[in-house]
Structure 1
């Protein structure tokens, strides 16, 4: 019988616990979480932890990443002896561990992070109703620029996180929050005072780069603070930002543009972001266990003179290796994995449809229905309501399906896709109704309901697709998600550039029908993976 661990030492975490926490924090499981790294845990085959090569990968990491079983199950026996030079948290009740902070402090930080995560996606589309006013002021009639002004923000979402993620592993979450929030405010103000179209687009791009920080870091912060069994509520609150923010923004922007002009959309965001920034300087603390333990190591080294002390979470990964994992791995997975590419392509096309609607609602509802002024922002309402309904529907029914199979003991990642099969039909149905309703100028409630159907379908495909990637790639889930994020951001930035030309050539009816036909062609993807996904993973030869 294994003797109990002495005070201050933890039992070895399970493989699933490490993988779940790494996925929440947004990095692969061979990079340490507050529970450690998958590389530091003994396998059933050997009690000795996997050796780490100079390139920062273990022998176990050479196994096929698409099979979802890069490492064997964790054994609770033959645990290695504790090195006296390893510094860990002082037991389960250590007040330095963020999980043990007072509830008021923890939930205050969660609320603040959720608010910031709501604001930055809101800024992506808030000024959309003021686009015609911007075009007049900058003396431009270029349809490409009219769309790119909105979508270039999402282009920043593609590149910012690739840099932010590895930097947070090196320097902690707090410096990245503060730095990115500060520069987000700076470039928001710059956009508010821009004097040319080129300046405006450049500042919008950098707004997106720095505005993506809370979406990269938020999940990890919540995982640091909230116990696993209570994390669902906090994650749901945090995820409302990317879902609802882009749809609420134009409603505010429509009325604000009429009252104060388009520039005040950016002053509004800058003022609110500044308030959040000041609150974060006062209320937020570092939550990364890696950084907290390293500070403890530095303190103990100074007190004891023992330079051999090292953190339990230190795997010796160098900055170059972290950047390689952040940038090279997603690219490899996107182009070498059938599952990652197909699911990412589905997400990218449907996400691009969202921004086609964002960039054209103002022109459609002003031209076809004579909406002007503040009420033009209400054209985004259907999309927002449909998205919220889709999110809660997936959470309820998706969890029921998965839990049923977990209880049976026959769960496979493909069970995540049942909801996606249903959601895929709503997108083309909504597009067909929306296009022809707008073409024939039916009552405005018809296209609003149709966009609600589209929003519902988008969330019912987007959410199960992302969770499927996490389940398939397990220890490399963050790289798969990064690959998907880059592809969808590029699609959302560039595909909408042709939307005005498409509508001019085909009309609203056939233009949206063409989008609907493409969406219909994508419907079989989840059905195919439900039938053949396990076989594809078994035959896969994808290695990192």
Structure 2
């Protein structure tokens, strides 16, 4: 139904004035404000169709085709589809780790750095993939980019399984990582597409379960597969699981990116009405660009965020440090429990459960508290939401995170009973979740229209560190030992504790001082 834009503005203004007049002088109590979440968090106004002005948008604020208006069950089902593959892809990053020894025997490879690189090269794919897959999803839509990338990931598992030398295996792992990075990157965009601010904390927690729990489950399954069958079967299993999952996604997945949906609607109406003057309402205020210019601008967007937004750069740095510490942890666990405690390769994978249980507990804490804290802080701020309200809990979790390095490092060094170092990994898992989840939700809140590109910046930087930092792990631990080597990492984590305090206190000033034009609007 066509709607006059000028009339909408007048109605909106008068509605605001009436609301202000009706507002009682005394503020309602805080508890009442917190429970009425939808009235606390501002509801965005969606662009509507106005054919008299040549604009195509949604058919009203309650248009059922708008992903923000999908039924709750449909929203969670779509997010579950994306989340399901985010378990398969990160699983591939670490599943091969405990079985490397069997591959080394077959290919007669003794260089420890090369062997470590066959595992970490997968994360190099996570560096390059997000930088072009996220922008492409903001041009062509989430669905087609996710589908193509997931199949790309699945196909390269065949190359890994059939590799006859270590060089071929490394190349295939790299391309598999590029394809597997799509679900890790585009999930942030889907959360922004589907969910309002007051639900994004829980949605982000569910979507992030796979990327953080997958690398923990991987060594457990990979250790037993490599020991009982063969290292090649790790990749055949990834092929079967990934292919079956993607078949389900092909059938059930839907496009969720609003600008692309309205672009399709504009093309359809232009053809039906035989009008060439129609324009997407999401393009209002943007300078007209050719397809090539749009592609170029979209591809540089993640890089712009990294180098021109200090708050994004600082958050990326902190996430990268924590992610690098996780993978340095991974470099010692299997060897410690096979050498010091006499575990088999398969059983050594179970030692990762310490971190895994910590991840799950941290995830539950964030899922249950993050949105509630945001509602409370918004109420205290006279109903004005600010993205920095996601960050205060990071301070507590950043203090928990270093505990594991001292606990695990010295108990493993002194050969204390095996359960003690495993329990020692638990605080790191809790702390890492408590740091990662608020940052990712914060980025979505800051750049909802370009959440995929913003998340691509975080994913690329942390994956770069996660891929190469662990290569220094064996030499460091050989030189310093388990106790002092892990203590060094613990002191490093402690040194970065002030960063969450800076983010919380000065994040808003930093964000507002260094703004970036990601829309391509006219000046």
Please report the TM-score for the alignment, with normalisation by the length of structure 1: 0.78
| In the alignment, structure 1 residue 241 sits paired with structure 2 residue 195 | no
Once the two structures are TM-superposed, the CA of residue 120 in structure 1 deviates from its matched residue by 0.9
Q: Any residues of structure 2 matched to 1:201-240 within 5 Å, and which?
A: 201-224=170-193, 234-240=203-209
Inter-CA distance 11–141: structure 2 relative to 1 (3 Å threshold) = farther
| In the alignment, structure 1 residue 422 sits paired with structure 2 residue 391 | no
Aligned mates of 1:279, 1:477 — CA distance in 2: 25
Q: Any residues of structure 2 matched to 1:4-403 within 5 Å, and which?
A: 6=3, 83-91=52-60, 96-98=65-67, 107-224=76-193, 234-314=203-283, 316-403=288-375
Aligned-pair RMSD on alpha carbons? 3.5
Inter-CA distance 438–318: structure 2 relative to 1 (3 Å threshold) = farther
Aligned mates of 2:69, 2:307 — CA distance in 1: 42
Once the two structures are TM-superposed, the CA of residue 323 in structure 1 deviates from its matched residue by 4.3
Once the two structures are TM-superposed, the CA of residue 452 in structure 1 deviates from its matched residue by 1.2
Q: 1:521 aligns with which of 479, 487, 495?
A: 495
Inter-CA distance 333–179: structure 2 relative to 1 (3 Å threshold) = closer
Question: Retained in 1: the 8 A contact 2:131–2:453?
Answer: no
Inter-CA distance 11–211: structure 2 relative to 1 (3 Å threshold) = farther
Aligned mates of 1:186, 1:177 — CA distance in 2: 14
Question: 1:439 — aligned with what?
Answer: 413
The DSSP-based 3-state class of the residue aligned with 1:212 is helix
Aligned mates of 1:417, 1:97 — CA distance in 2: 29
Please report the TM-score for the alignment, with normalisation by the length of structure 2: 0.81
Question: Retained in 1: the 8 A contact 2:157–2:236?
Answer: yes
Once the two structures are TM-superposed, the CA of residue 91 in structure 1 deviates from its matched residue by 3.9
Question: Retained in 1: the 8 A contact 2:130–2:460?
Answer: no
Inter-CA distance 291–359: structure 2 relative to 1 (3 Å threshold) = same
Residues 99-108 or 280-289, more deviating: 99-108
Cα deviations by residue, 1:461-507 (Å, 9 ceiling, x for unpaired): 22233444556677776655433322211111110001011111111
Once the two structures are TM-superposed, the CA of residue 170 in structure 1 deviates from its matched residue by 2.5
Aligned mates of 2:510, 2:256 — CA distance in 1: 39
Question: 2:33 — aligned with what?
Answer: none
Once the two structures are TM-superposed, the CA of residue 521 in structure 1 deviates from its matched residue by 1.2
Aligned mates of 1:107, 1:401 — CA distance in 2: 22
Q: Aligned residue pairs: how many?
A: 481
Aligned mates of 1:465, 1:222 — CA distance in 2: 14
Inter-CA distance 158–305: structure 2 relative to 1 (3 Å threshold) = same
Aligned mates of 1:503, 1:234 — CA distance in 2: 38
Q: 2:462 aligns with which of 482, 485, 488?
A: 488
Once the two structures are TM-superposed, the CA of residue 94 in structure 1 deviates from its matched residue by 5.0
Q: Structure 1: which 5+ residue stretches go unaligned?
A: 13-43, 45-72
Question: 1:30 — aligned with what?
Answer: none
Q: Any residues of structure 2 matched to 1:394-413 within 5 Å, and which?
A: 394-409=366-381
Inter-CA distance 163–278: structure 2 relative to 1 (3 Å threshold) = same
Aligned mates of 1:528, 1:228 — CA distance in 2: 23
Aligned mates of 1:104, 1:7 — CA distance in 2: 33
Residues 335-344 or 88-97, more deviating: 88-97
Once the two structures are TM-superposed, the CA of residue 531 in structure 1 deviates from its matched residue by 4.6
Q: Any residues of structure 2 matched to 1:496-511 within 5 Å, and which?
A: 496-511=470-485
Question: Retained in 1: the 8 A contact 2:187–2:452?
Answer: no
Once the two structures are TM-superposed, the CA of residue 273 in structure 1 deviates from its matched residue by 1.1
Residues 403-412 or 418-427, more deviating: 403-412
